[in-house]
Each structure stands twice: as C-alpha cells, then as structure tokens.
A and B are shown apart, each in its own frame.
Chain A
C-alpha cells in the first residue's frame, strides 16, 4: 500500500522531426524540392518516480524539455521511447479513467470558453467528467471560497483580468478533483499577490486531497514555498533530483555574510570578497568552509551592530546549475 509510485518515468525520450531552411528566397525554393529534416531531442532519457501526495518542482531553462515531459505525462504526446506510467495507466492511450484522474494546467493556455461566464464552463466540465451533482457543489463551494471566485463566476471570461481568469482556469482544472496535477507555469504573468494566492491554493489542495503535484515555474518563490523536492533538467537530460536544500548545498561553494557596521569606512577585503556596501551594510562573499571563522573574526575585530549569514538566492543557484552544465 502506498508504495507504488503515482508517476513513473524510465529512460523517457521524445524526438521531434523538424524541417528547417535558411532564410531567403533561394533557400525557400530549394526547400520545395528537398526538405532538410533535423531531429530535435526534446527529452533525452529522463527517469524519475513521484510518490502519491508529493509536490515536486520541475525546473529547467526555456527549451529544457519540461513542457514536452508534462505533455507526455498527460497523454497529449506519444513518447519516442522509454517507460511511462501515471497512476498505473499509459498516458498516451488516453483511457477515460486515466483522464478523469489527472489535470494539466497551462498558464498560457485556456480551456474556459471565452464568451460565456466561467460557471457555464464549469457546468460543462461537470458533465464531461461526470462529477455527481452533490460532489460538484461541494467542490465548487470549496474552490469559490479559497480562490474568492464568487464575484467572477457570472462575468463573461473575456471581461476578466489575467489574474481573475487564471484563478478560474485553476478552478476549472480541479473541479473533478484529480489525483495527479500537472502545473505548467501556473503563475506566469500574475502579480505577486495573485501568485501567492494561487501558490497557497495549490498547497491547500495537496493537503486536503493528498494529490500528487508536478509543477514547473520560472518563479523560484513558487518552488521554495511549495516543493521540498526538485527535479532539474537541461537539454532534455536530468541534472538533479533531490531536496531543494541539497541542490543549494551542492551547487554553492559560497555563503553571503551581511555585516552592519554603521558606515562604509572599514576595509574588509582581507575577510572575503566585498560585494557591496550600502548604508553601512557590507555584503561579503566567503567560501562556505570559511564562514564560521570569518564570522568570528568580524565579531572580534569590529563593533558589529548586526550580522547575518545567508545562502545565495535560489535564482542565483539555479542560474549557476544551468551555466555549469553549459560550460
């Protein structure tokens, strides 16, 4: 019980065949006769398992293969090779029982009908997913409450703001209470408040229903707030799979010490690399192993008003992971 993974990938591959040509008329004419085909390995041998109830961050730069992987997991794309199962189903077979238990939310894509109020689209989803009337009402009430949808339900979708529409999209995607939730940039283009609300909602949904969540986002705040475990891919290959804290530990050789002295008069370059000094706050970069020693020396040598030791921001860490892979 509970040991079989909700999502299972083994050596998954997806290769697209794209025809390409140079710019210009001559190349355009030439391509009429012979088209040059090129193979693009969007996903190049990825393996991981997700346990039921896990929330996992799925990271990588643009074009890393995240969305392609999510599309294969939700049954939109046929894999070129490899093993793939979600809740014991093979996604591309698009078994109705499988589709009833999953959802894919895409931040830049909408499933709500543009010209009618969201509540009508919700009703259509109720019918399509065969949600019993009582369950539907309960779930709708719950979603309306957490996402504060009440004032939006009866306005045509085209009159909603991006944030309002996104909340309704998320609600529409979860009305059938899927056990596995794939989220592709669910907070893209939203302001900070709205991002936080969607984030809070995802955590709450996971807690209430024990759903498995795989999330991609360019906002590290989403990942830090929601995911203990992260999977990082680049060029279709797996770079890292483990705790977010380990990722930071493994890819950062430095820590940041911010020491408040009250002014910028003192020269601290013998203690570490001085990154900046503003309003008497000096920011130092020191090798991780040196942190304790440097901190001690600073406290002994200066009248320190305040001192904090920090890991570099997660964005910086991720950026370094991608760049190290590139070099």
Chain B
C-alpha cells in the first residue's frame, strides 16, 4: 500500500510537470468542457421562457442550475482514455508500461486525478461566473451535499473502469473511433447531458436506469440539486456499486484476453 502511494505521489509530480508545459492546451480543453453544457443551457432556458416559464416543471433557473452543476460533475468524472488507447496499442507505446511491475491503470488514475485537481479551480470559477449570468435556482440541502462526495467519487470510478475497459477494444481493432462515437452518443443521451432525464419519456428513463451512463453524470447532478429522495439516492448508490463491480470484473477479463493478442508493434 505504501509502495502504491509512493507511485501515485511520483505520478502526480510527473503529470503536474508535464501539464504546466502545455498551459494553452489546458485552457482550450477547459473551454471545450464549458461550451457543450453552455449550449444546452442556453437552448433549454430559452425554450422554458417561451413556454410560459417552465418545461415539465423545470424553470429557466432550474435549467441553469442543472447545466452548471452538470458541467462541474462531468468535468470531475470525465476520462480521455478511449482516445488514447488506440494510439498506445497501434504505436506500441503500451510496451514500456507493460515492462513495469505495476498495473498500467494506476498511472492512468493518478494522471486523471492530478489533471482534475489542477483544472478544478478554473472550472469552479467558471461555474460561479455562469451563476451570476444565468441566475440558477440552486438550493442545496445539507444531507445531499454530504452524500454528493461519495457519490461523485463512485461516479468517477464507474466511468473510469467502464471507459478503460471499452478502450481495450484497441487490442482487437485498430479503428476504435467508430466505437467511441457510438459510446459518446449514448453517453450524451442517457447520462442526462442533453436534457434532464426527468423530461424524457418513461421507456428512455428505464433504459437509463439500467445502463451505467446516468450513474456517472446525471445522478450526482440530480443529487446535488436536491431533486432526489433518500431512497432514490440509496438505489443510485446501489447501481453505482453494481456497475463498479461489473466494471472491475470485465476489466480484468478483457485486459488478460487483450494482452494475449497484443502484438507490441513497433516496440
């Protein structure tokens, strides 16, 4: 355990040092993470203003609060691993990682968390600025605030393991982008990123309940906004735990099978 903590500490340092070399890229990345929810926010507040002040019970202020919180939550649980793995496998840059006596997932986790810690202050500042502009109806409940911490952590882990496992498809096909595209479309829709799931038809909500997407973005967002009952929260945590277990088991299986077919091209 101490050994692993040491590895994480060193990886933090490496990521910070590399990150600071690319400040411009960092800003562009952050802008990307702000723009998407901002577009939905503008669309939905406009719609609600033009339809007697609310859509399915969501006022303009509710939409503002929803998309601002969602923006922060999405940033916290986001991973870029699916874009990266194809390159790693095709170029053989995975090989040096495989020679090390530690599972490569650890450096990815450390790298992700470090990047988030560096960029989070910027993200929160943007959220505050957007708050002044869009006047969100944000009334946090103390117990929901407390529950948000473990829930968002679970959301991050679920998303990380699911996406890390899907990224391993790169072992079998060198054209992962099509798969990624499908995944991101489903993510956009079923996670609540396009619209709050409450506003979608019942069958869609049932599908969203079963799939992992909602539990990585929409669920923590709804929780923080105080839109969930304690029972709903406990059910959600149960679903998160189930997906985390499934993700871990799948990851181990797929990883082992993937290494068997890995050809270590070029390196």
Interface residues of A (CB under 8 A from B): 16, 71, 74-78, 92, 94, 96-97, 99-100, 102-104, 106, 108-111, 113-116, 120-121, 123-124, 126-130, 156
Q: A96, B101: Cβ atoms under 8 Å?
A: yes
The 30 sampled A-B contact pairs (Cβ below 8 Å) are: A16-B263, A71-B264, A76-B98, A76-B99, A76-B264, A77-B263, A96-B101, A97-B101, A99-B100, A100-B101, A103-B99, A109-B93, A110-B96, A111-B99, A113-B18, A114-B18, A116-B17, A120-B13, A120-B14, A120-B17, A123-B13, A124-B11, A124-B14, A126-B10, A127-B9, A128-B101, A129-B100, A129-B101, A130-B6, A156-B21
Q: B99, A99: Cβ atoms under 8 Å?
A: yes
Nearest opposing residue in chain A for B263, CB measure: A16
B3 at the interface (CB under 8 A from A): yes
In the bound assembly, the distance between CA atoms of A103 and B22 in angstroms comes to: 31
Q: How far is the CB of B97 from chain A (nearest CB, A)?
A: 8
Q: Contacts of A116 on B, CB cut-off 8 Å?
A: 14, 17-18, 21
Nearest opposing residue in chain A for B106, CB measure: A128
Q: How far is the CB of B115 from chain A (nearest CB, A)?
A: 14
Q: Contacts of B3 on A, CB cut-off 8 Å?
A: 127, 130
Q: Contacts of B93 on A, CB cut-off 8 Å?
A: 109
In the bound assembly, the distance between CA atoms of A111 and B107 in angstroms comes to: 13
B260 at the interface (CB under 8 A from A): yes
B95 at the interface (CB under 8 A from A): yes
Q: How far is the CB of B169 from chain A (nearest CB, A)?
A: 17
State which of A106, A110, A113, A127 has its C-beta within 8 Å of the C-beta of B6.
A127
Nearest opposing residue in chain B for A110, CB measure: B96
In the bound assembly, the distance between CA atoms of A99 and B263 in angstroms comes to: 19
- Contacts A115-B17, A127-B7 given; indicate if A77 touches B264 (C-beta within 8 A): yes
In the bound assembly, the distance between CA atoms of A128 and B102 in angstroms comes to: 7
Nearest opposing residue in chain B for A103, CB measure: B99
Q: A113, B92: Cβ atoms under 8 Å?
A: no
In the bound assembly, the distance between CA atoms of A109 and B97 in angstroms comes to: 12
In the bound assembly, the distance between CA atoms of A97 and B102 in angstroms comes to: 10
In the bound assembly, the distance between CA atoms of A126 and B260 in angstroms comes to: 28
Nearest opposing residue in chain A for B7, CB measure: A127
In the bound assembly, the distance between CA atoms of A100 and B95 in angstroms comes to: 15
Q: A75, B99: Cβ atoms under 8 Å?
A: yes
State which of B7, B18, B98 has its C-beta within 8 Å of the C-beta of A128.
B7
Q: Contacts of B260 on A, CB cut-off 8 Å?
A: 78
Q: How far is the CB of B257 from chain A (nearest CB, A)?
A: 11
Of B13, B260, B263, most buried by chain A (CB within 10 Å of CB) is: B263
Q: B13, A106: Cβ atoms under 8 Å?
A: no
B267 at the interface (CB under 8 A from A): yes
B189 at the interface (CB under 8 A from A): no
Q: Mark B8-42, 1 if CB is under 8 A from A, else 0.
A: 01110110011001100000000000000000000
In the bound assembly, the distance between CA atoms of A113 and B18 in angstroms comes to: 8
Q: How far is the CB of A238 from chain B (nearest CB, A)?
A: 22
In the bound assembly, the distance between CA atoms of A58 and B98 in angstroms comes to: 23
Q: Contacts of A96 on B, CB cut-off 8 Å?
A: 101-102
In the bound assembly, the distance between CA atoms of A129 and B14 in angstroms comes to: 16
Known: A109-B266, A124-B14. 12 other contacts (CB 8 A): A76-B99, A76-B262, A78-B260, A99-B101, A103-B99, A106-B95, A116-B14, A120-B13, A120-B14, A124-B7, A124-B10, A124-B11
Q: A109, B101: Cβ atoms under 8 Å?
A: no
Q: How far is the CB of B221 from chain A (nearest CB, A)?
A: 34
In the bound assembly, the distance between CA atoms of A96 and B18 in angstroms comes to: 27
In the bound assembly, the distance between CA atoms of A124 and B100 in angstroms comes to: 11
In the bound assembly, the distance between CA atoms of A201 and B259 in angstroms comes to: 33
Q: B14, A113: Cβ atoms under 8 Å?
A: yes
Q: Contacts of B100 on A, CB cut-off 8 Å?
A: 99, 128-129
Nearest opposing residue in chain B for A125, CB measure: B100
Q: How far is the CB of A153 from chain B (nearest CB, A)?
A: 14
Q: Contacts of A113 on B, CB cut-off 8 Å?
A: 14, 17-18
Q: B96, A111: Cβ atoms under 8 Å?
A: yes
Q: Which 3 A-B residue pairs are closest in the complex by CB-CB distance?
A: A111-B96, A99-B101, A96-B101
Q: How far is the CB of B256 from chain A (nearest CB, A)?
A: 10
